[in-house]
Amino acid sequence: MEEHKNIFCKYMISEIPNLAIYIPNFITQEEEVEIIKCINSVPLPKWTQLSHRRLQNWGGIPHPKGMIAEDIPIWLQKYIDKVSSCNIFEKNKLPNHILINEYLSGQGIMAHSDGPLFHPIVTTISCGSHTLLDFYKRINNIEQHQLNFEFSLLLERRSLFILQEELYHNYLHSIAERDTDVISKSVIKNLDICGEKFLDGETLKRGIRLSLTIRHVPKTSKLKLKIG
């Protein structure tokens, strides 16, 4: 346990203490290649096509009435176990769901929170490309043009990002729809613990990013849906 405490102290984002942990190179290049290959080998019906991206649900589809639990394939369970080994989750709240999002260059997601369907800890592994995650302070009226921008975090490929506590409950996060990101040391709060070193004003070109969002869904059911 002391070893994990030291890891978290090392990778805690100091400018937003106790709210976010960022671990660069959490997975290896070989693991990244394996993940991308497995995701792209999944049958097309497993994908859900949205207007600005597509996604896969593994473990079930979260629902206010409860998620009907489904088996998670071994190639994904491997990364649930790897995240669980960080001891971020309590033993009775281990991850049981993975959402895979595919973002093509220029695609993003509007400001949102993950909401009450999940235990308030979110872990995300990024593959294939970096992205810039923007955070906004939650206010009563959450229309995007009225949100108060606070800061950004750079999520490098192969990194693990852990979001929790106030950052989960009182902030919204988004990804802007653009092809490139410009490094700003005054805005991006985790540059000092990134795996690579970046220059202020440097431009990073986005590629295809596959994100694995690994979470715990508290309300689940083992019942199988009856068809017909």
pLDDT, tens digit, for every residue of 108-165?
A: 999 998 888 889 899 999 999 999 999 998 776 555 456 789 999 999 999 999 999 8
Q: 1-218 architecture in CATH?
A: Sandwich (2.60)
Which tokens hold the place of 132? 């810039």
Assess whether pLDDT exceeds 70 at residue 196.
yes
Length of the chain: 228
Instruction: In whole angstroms, give the CA distance from residue 127 to residue 158.
Output: 5
* Structure confidence at residue 76 (pLDDT): 97
**Cα separation values, 206 from 104, 108, 114, 162, 179, Å:** 8, 11, 24, 22, 6
Closest CA to 84 of 69, 73, 74, 96: 96
Q: Cα–Cα distance between 59 and 180 in angstroms, integer?
A: 33
Q: What is the pLDDT of residue 7?
A: 59
Query: In the block, which residue shows the tokens 């715990």?
Result: 216
Number of neighbouring beta carbons within 10 Å of residue 132: 22
Q: Which residues lie closer than 8 Å to 154 by C-beta, 6 or more apart?
A: 130, 132, 133, 181, 183, 188, 190, 191, 194, 198
* The predicted structure's pLDDT at residue 104: 97
Calpha distance 93→215 (Å, rounded): 9
pLDDT at 169 over 70: yes
Q: How far apart are CA 142 and CA 221, in angstroms?
A: 32
Residue 5 in this model has a pLDDT that exceeds 70: no
Q: DSSP letters of 169-200?
A: HSEEEEE---SEEE--TTTBTTGGGSSS---T
The mean per-residue pLDDT over the stretch 7-22 comes to 83
Specify the range with the lowest mean pLDDT, choosing from 160-164, 168-172, 177-181, 213-217. Answer: 168-172
Please say if the pLDDT value at position 3 is more than 50.
Answer: no
Please give the model's pTM, rounded to 2 decimal places. 0.91
pLDDT tens digits for range 30-54: 999 999 999 999 999 999 999 889 9
Cα separation, 170 vs 137, in Å, equals 6
Question: pLDDT tens-digit profile of 72-112?
Answer: 999 999 999 999 999 999 988 999 999 999 999 999 999 99
pLDDT grade, residue 223 (50/70/90)? low
